[in-house]
């Protein structure tokens, strides 16, 4: 019997319930995508089903499908691994998030579910998250959720590139707040919003359809009202929300 399959039977699907899976590159054993689903979702990426392509961002789809195409061109097949099965959907969300956080460099466009709120943190960050005071929003802030896990990027570099947003709306913000794990780590002034191209942002790769800003750190008298403060409770991202951009206006 061949070890390669492209779909599960109805009997298998019924037993699996919700599951979390990994797509692995057989050329180097690298996990390049983590997802959750039911039925034959795990095989849909290789099959290139329209339902999968439409549910993901263009960047995520492009990077993932490029890897799949390279594997096929090498005469090999993507390895499908069911990492955990027999779950209810809320549990599958959490398992998926933990795996995404554990495998840096995935083709997944977004971090794990709630990874910015409950993902990997230093003990100091945990204490800060629960002890920090909330900032008081004035109604002119743009909030950017960033994730610098495994990176040495400054809050400015993490927050300024590259986002799907309306630049006209973004220009209305007095300050841009870089938020990590619910805590404000950077208070920035966006002087110009520009298309996210390598020409506008040397050192970054072009990301069509996205925007970034050129700016500076806010002056101390402005930053002090936000820095190391946590998001007010009513601004915490809703369960399942993927957009890292929030406005207070």
* H or E element, residue 43: helix 41-47
Name the pTM for this structure: 0.56
Q: What is the three-class DSSP state of 111? A: coil
- Of the candidates 170, 150, 173, 174, which has an alpha carbon nearest to the alpha carbon of residue 161? 170
Is the per-residue pLDDT at 183 higher than 70? yes
pLDDT at position 54 is 46
Ordered domains of the chain (ranges, CATH): 10-110 (3.40.1440), 118-247 (no CATH)
- Of the candidates 25, 27, 3, 164, which has an alpha carbon nearest to the alpha carbon of residue 103? 25
Q: What is the three-class DSSP state of 117? A: helix
What distance in Å separates the CA atoms of residue 248 and residue 62, rounded to the nearest whole number?
Answer: 32
Is the per-residue pLDDT at 134 higher than 70? yes
What is the tens place of the pLDDT at every residue in 22-51? 999 888 888 999 999 999 999 999 887 434
What distance in Å separates the CA atoms of residue 247 and residue 249, rounded to the nearest whole number?
Answer: 5
Q: How many CA atoms lie within 13 A of 127 on its CB side?
A: 3
What distance in Å separates the CA atoms of residue 69 and residue 76, rounded to the nearest whole number?
Answer: 10
Range with the poorest average pLDDT among 57-61, 138-142, 245-249:
57-61
Is the per-residue pLDDT at 116 higher than 60? no
């Amino acid at each position: 019997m061949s070890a390669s399959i492209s779909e599960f039977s109805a009997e298998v699907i019924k037993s699996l319930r919700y599951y979390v899976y990994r797509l692995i590159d057989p050329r180097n054993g690298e996990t390049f995508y983590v997802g959750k689903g039911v039925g034959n979702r795990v095989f849909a990426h290789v099959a290139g089903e329209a339902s999968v392509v439409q549910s993901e961002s263009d960047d995520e789809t492009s990077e993932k499908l490029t890897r799949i195409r390279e594997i096929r061109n090498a005469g090999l097949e993507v390895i499908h691994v069911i990492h955990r099965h027999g779950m209810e959907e809320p549990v599958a969300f959490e398992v998926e998030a933990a795996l995404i956080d554990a495998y840096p460099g995935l083709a997944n466009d977004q971090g794990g579910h709630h990874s910015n709120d409950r993902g990997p943190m230093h003990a100091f960050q945990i204490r800060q998250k629960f002890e920090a005071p909330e900032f008081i929003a004035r109604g002119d802030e743009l909030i950017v959720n960033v994730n610098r896990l495994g990176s040495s990027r400054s809050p400015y570099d993490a927050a300024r590139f590259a986002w799907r947003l309306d630049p006209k709306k973004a220009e209305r913000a007095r300050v841009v707040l870089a938020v990590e794990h619910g805590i404000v780590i950077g208070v920035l002034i966006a002087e110009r919003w520009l298309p996210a191209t390598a020409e506008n942002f040397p050192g970054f790769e072009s990301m069509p359809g996205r925007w970034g800003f050129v700016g500076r750190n806010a002056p101390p008298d402005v930053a002090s009202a936000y820095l190391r403060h946590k998001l007010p409770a009513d601004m915490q991202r809703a369960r399942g929300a993927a957009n890292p951009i929030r406005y207070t206006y």
